[in-house]
Amino acid sequence: MSQPVTALNRAQYSLTQYLRDPERCVAPEGVEPRRLAVYQELIFNNIEDFLSSGFPILRSLVQDHTWLALVRLFVTDYRAQSPYFLEIGQEFMHFVMASEAAQAMLPAFAAELMHYEWVELALDVAPETLPELVDKPAVTLATKIRLSALAWPLVYQYPVQTIGPTNQPSTIPAAPTFLLVHRDRQHRVKFMALNGLSYGLLDMVENNAEVDLQTLINRLSELVHGNQGTSVSPLFVDQGLALVQRFVDQDILHIC
């Protein structure tokens, strides 16, 4: 059974609606206009400051009046699903991706750039931890591996890691951009450029829990060479094992 709406509930709703959108909502009765203006400015400025800090590259590419209008649209029209302040950036990213009005204010690459900027904070505050540090054996074809929860292979249409005030792509490049972001044992978030082979390997591991390297390398060879059912060359096997070993040494892949 739903709880009855009280006078306090109505007053709270009226206040919050006005603070979000003072131009279209009626000010609550009994509250001094000067105080309302202070509260409204504090809310907007805190959100705007957090978003500017969370998306510094995007902010540098957008003119002040456009950025402030975008944040205002976010505050007035979007209904966040998370109450946590640290997740405002993720909510803002979802807002931009879902809003045609917001997208019209931004360059075509903005959504991907926002995601690229957001993952750094997301991994920095992620609750997962790396397993206890132990001596790591050399990997073999029988080794089973899994992807670290603190390692995210990413693929973008645009070269997001190069975008800035002097480099703003106007068209989608022919080749995608493959990246890896991960958090190390010193709690540092690092970005790494990948080629198609290394991304394909990590993507396969991510989508196949505890897969052995023999199966993984066979599938990777089929993906690269299209030679399903044929034997894998010793050179390709050696390259695959070396790549996996390097990722294991960097705590990007874990031996099961």
Q: pLDDT by residue (tens digit) across 43-77?
A: 888 899 999 999 999 999 999 999 999 999 998 88
Residue 1 reports pLDDT greater than 50: no
Q: Give domain status of residue 178, yes or no.
A: yes
> Which CATH number covers residue 90?
1.10.150.690
Q: Where a domain ends, among 79, 106, 133?
A: 106
- Structural domain that includes position 52: 7-106
pLDDT band per the 50, 70, 90 thresholds, residue 231 = confident
Q: Can you give the pTM of this predicted structure?
A: 0.85
In the predicted model, what is the mean pLDDT of residues 101-107?
Answer: 95
Residue 13 reports pLDDT greater than 70: no
Q: Give domain status of residue 136, yes or no.
A: no
Give kind and range of the element (H or E) at residue 130.
Answer: none
Q: Give domain status of residue 73, yes or no.
A: yes
Number of domains composing the chain: 2
Handedness of CA 233, 234, 235, 239 (dihedral sign): positive
- How high is the pLDDT of residue 37? 77
In the predicted model, what is the mean pLDDT of residues 2-27?
Answer: 67
Q: Where a domain ends, among 59, 82, 106?
A: 106
